[in-house]
Structure 1
Amino acid sequence: MPKERLIPLIVAAALFMENMDATVIATSLPAIAADIGTSPLTLKLAITSYLLSLAVFIPASGWTADRFGARTVFSAAIAVFMVGSIGCALSHSITDFVAARVLQGLGGAMMTPVGRLVLLRSIDKSALVGAMAWMTVPALIGPVIGPPLGGFITTYFSWHWIFLINIPIGLVGIVLAQRYIDPIRSDAPEPFDLYGMILAGIGLAGIAFGFSVAGLNMLPWPVVVALIGTGCIAMTLYVLHARKTASPVLDFSLLRLATLRASIIGGFVFRIGIGALPFLLPLLMQIGFGLTPFQSGLVTFASSAGAMSMKPLAARIIRTFGFRNIMIINAVVSSLFLAACALFTPSTPMLLIMLILLVGGFFRSLQFTAINTVAYAEVETAKMSRATTLVSVNQQLAISTGVAVGALCVETTMQWRGLTELSVEAFAPAFVVVAVLSALSAYFFWKLPDDAGHEISGRKAMEISSRKGAAQAAEKAANETTPDTRDQRL
């Protein structure tokens, strides 16, 4: 298998393990809580502790990869994630379980940005679109397949296996990474910004955790506001600090690059809607339509099928139409399919629901591939690790914000309509709101120049080839023109 496909698949396998594990636990909380002697509400600490661990350790990923080598850190991250998974399976108390989840978060925090860095440093930019298309799959499939898989394993086997299935996947990932990924590291790693790491960690943890629990009634609103406020203050202090250091853990100066800026800001707005979908759709199917977790997962998996069907076409579509045109139009198209979920009712044919999710998954996957790839079009090789860290932090915050916005819309609708229990009517406004937010991302892509990312999409080469062909055809026609025909034209 060519390197352009093998390395993305190695990275994608590890990221699939992480993305699936982040959601697979949701449907298994009652069984786990009963087994270790606590309540499902208390066990939600396991989810939030994982998010906190991600937010705190992601900023250190870029420096760690430069210092110790991307292959080494990527393999170590998989190993740490596996140890955390074993710890979860062996837990006998809430303390053990939360500690194991924090360890998983440490592995996941390194796995995502460093995996992306491995891809960027191993694949030529001309083949980056196709490679990134394959790496986007786990981010789309994991959140969809996680809940039904967790429900199936917990129902027919034991909840312990939702963590133990990570072990064979992780072992294969480590072996393949050591064999096929080059030991790339920076020749002159920068000094570690410890003070910046502390500020960024507090800031990201406060914002990500605050948004994650907002609207879920896990904590009182004053506490949620205090968390988000503390996070914002810490991030403000970090920004002031970053201007004075030559090696910040989060390099916001990269936002001067038009393509990275559009990917960060536009991608954040677009992901708010898409981040809410894995949260809203299973609830609608299970609570609104009365389906089991396994049944709802089979329905929503259509979205992942659509995502996978796009992968062979992504590079050709982007090369033909260009990043800017694709991201502007596709932001609106993807949002329309997201808004269509507001029309789902118990009487809507399941075949129609699956068809809408299938086609919507196709366009969402195309948008993710374009956003994730164009981010690195102008980034210098020496700053790739900084860019991947910044992109990973942005994605984590966007997903947390999407869940918060979706949950808040559902809760607001219930209060406005006087509903005491969740029902189908509570979900429609939420789908509309997040769809509108996602559509607004088109504005940030519209501000890009027409030739944004042409070097990595192959469109520039195609245009040059087309112009050469037209010039050669014109020259040939001129040479073949006889004196008689020239006289007739005159």
Structure 2
Amino acid sequence: MPAEMDARTARLLPWIVAIAFFMQMLDGTILNTALPAMAASLNESPLRMQSVVIAYLLTVALLIPASGWIADRFGTRRVFFSAILLFSLGSLFCAQAPTLTTLVLARIVQGLGGALMVPVGRLVILRAYPRARLVEVLSFVTLPGMVGPLVGPTLGGWLVEYASWHWIFLINIPVGIVGCAATWKFMPDLRAAPGAMSRFDSMGFVFFGAAMVLISVALEGLGELHLAHARVMLLLMAGLACLAAYWLHAARNEHPIFRLQLFHTHTYAVGILGNLFARLGSGAMPFLMPLLLQVGLAYSPSKAGMTMIPVAASAMFAKAIAKPLIERLGYRLLLTGNTLLLGCLMISFATISSDTAYPMLLLHLAIFGAVNSMQFTAMNTVTLIDLSDVDASSGNSLLSVVMQLSVSLGVAAAAALLAGFANEYVHPTQPQLLQSFHYTFMCVGVMAMLAAGIFLQLPPTSGKVQTEVPPPGQQVGDHL
């Protein structure tokens, strides 16, 4: 723990970071519930509203690579304060947007704040607490933040049905004011040691950012943009070429944005790749489920919001039991089994129809929420837990990029699949729309299950607490 962080700050810091998690989670869950109403207000199809989600996610993913360097250069207090302020201003602009285009632009402003808010908060936790407490502190930080998903769907549905969708953004502003005040008073001002700052890798930033944008636009081209397949392939190949250019650049650059040596830490390499592929499926679910309830099953916004409560409630429970489960089973067994179970649960949503009993639907969502939450907690901690202090900033930034990028790609892929299945019908009826959702759930479930093979590469004892007597000179928990 840093010397300048007193006991009071050590107690309050997780709550300050949790405010950032709360704002992002509240924004995302309210937004997903409100998408059909927003589409009607803006004269758009609800199946083409993914650009509102992707614009934010892609902006965050694009700018996160600079978050670690910015925090080291200007200090965590100033950067975290500015991030919450930008996010709050972006929310105000979203509430004033008269068209889909201006709403997307306002979401980009929100993304400027989001790109620094959660990554810098996680970086502070990573640097301020010992590795042995990482699972405990990260779980605590995300637990208060889960209040956002708990109240978000219901609040969003109620606001849309009885007020207007504009209020789903305005509600962020008072939370942002509290966050700014707490940050300025209590956030420790952590930064790189004198003489340790390197020059910002602008060339690497351009290569990496171009790769993310081109690949995301290529997937979006299959959906909302309706680009010809030749153009999609051209964008995809250009994106992969930029990614290869970054890899070669980082190999010979002394201070790249993301050091290739990060992947010499085995658990980090497995965690990053596992996050990328697992979130392609699970990241699309918050986008698909509210659409299924309102478009596929014709639920009202308020009922759809109430229906999503079990997902957040069970997720909070899963956060509380994550540490003992990891210590008992280890990361390899837990993540491999949990990934397969998560994919099966996504596929099982293809059985939901208007004949499904409402209590069974709530139970289905609760089980999914718990398994999904356990997946995120275990993936994030196994990725970061073995990083050295030298690699903490760069490694944390890359994890944040992968998290945002994979969710963005997952939403784009799910939207393209849903639109593709629905477009097979000239004028799809309600049962045909529901069948399109079913096929999409099957596809995203299979995508998520593919990550199980990656988690199998973890050491069998990774994360386990030893129960046998350790060899002389080795203390229990040295591997944590």
Using the size of structure 2 for normalisation, the TM-score is 0.86
Aligned counterpart, 1:392:
400
Deviations 1:349-382 (A, max 9, x none): 1101111211221122112111101111221112
Counterpart of 1:105, as a letter, is G
Match of 1:193 among 196, 201, 208: 201
Aligned counterpart, 1:20:
26
The residue matched to 1:318 in structure 2 has which SS? helix
Match of 1:440 among 450, 457, 465: 450
Rg larger for: 1
Aligned-residue offset at 1:281: 1.7
Q: RMSD of the alignment, in Å? A: 3.1
Cα distance change, pair 166–398 in 1 and its aligned pair in 2 (3 A): same
Aligned residues: 461
Aligned counterpart, 1:427:
437
State how 1:450-469 maps to structure 2 within 5 Å. Answer: 450-454=460-464, 459-460=465-466, 463-464=468-469
Aligned-residue offset at 1:347: 0.9
Match of 1:157 among 140, 153, 163: 163
Counterpart of 1:214, as a letter, is L
Q: How many percent of aligned residue pairs carry the same amino acid?
A: 36
Counterpart of 2:384, as a letter, is Y
Aligned counterpart, 2:274:
266
Aligned counterpart, 2:385:
377
Deviations 1:232-281 (A, max 9, x none): 22222111111111111133331221111111111222112211211222
Aligned-residue offset at 1:439: 2.2
Contact 2:15 2:144 in 1 (8 A): no
1:296 to 2:300 alignment: no
1:358 to 2:366 alignment: yes
Match of 1:125 among 105, 108, 131: 131
Comparing 168-177 and 110-119, the one that deviates more: 168-177
Contact 1:260 1:375 in 2 (8 A): yes
Deviations 1:117-139 (A, max 9, x none): 01111222111112222344588
Aligned-residue offset at 1:85: 1.9
Distance 1:90 1:432 in 2: 37
The residue matched to 2:362 in structure 1 has which SS? helix
1:330 to 2:338 alignment: yes
Counterpart of 2:84, as a letter, is I
Cα distance change, pair 322–60 in 1 and its aligned pair in 2 (3 A): same
Counterpart of 2:336, as a letter, is I
Match of 1:179 among 177, 185, 188: 185
* Runs (5+) with no aligned partner, structure 1: 469-490
Aligned-residue offset at 1:222: 4.5
Aligned counterpart, 1:62:
68
Contact 1:14 1:169 in 2 (8 A): no
Contact 2:219 2:416 in 1 (8 A): no
Deviations 1:396-426 (A, max 9, x none): 1211222233234334444668873452222
Cα distance change, pair 300–221 in 1 and its aligned pair in 2 (3 A): farther
The residue matched to 1:375 in structure 2 has which SS? helix
The residue matched to 1:249 in structure 2 has which SS? coil
Comparing 383-392 and 2-11, the one that deviates more: 2-11
Aligned-residue offset at 1:392: 1.0
Aligned-residue offset at 1:167: 1.5
Aligned counterpart, 1:231:
239
Deviations 1:92-132 (A, max 9, x none): 67776454332211111111211110111122211111222
* Runs (5+) with no aligned partner, structure 2: 1-6, 474-480
Deviations 1:193-242 (A, max 9, x none): 11111222222122234334533455554444444333222222111111
Using the size of structure 1 for normalisation, the TM-score is 0.84
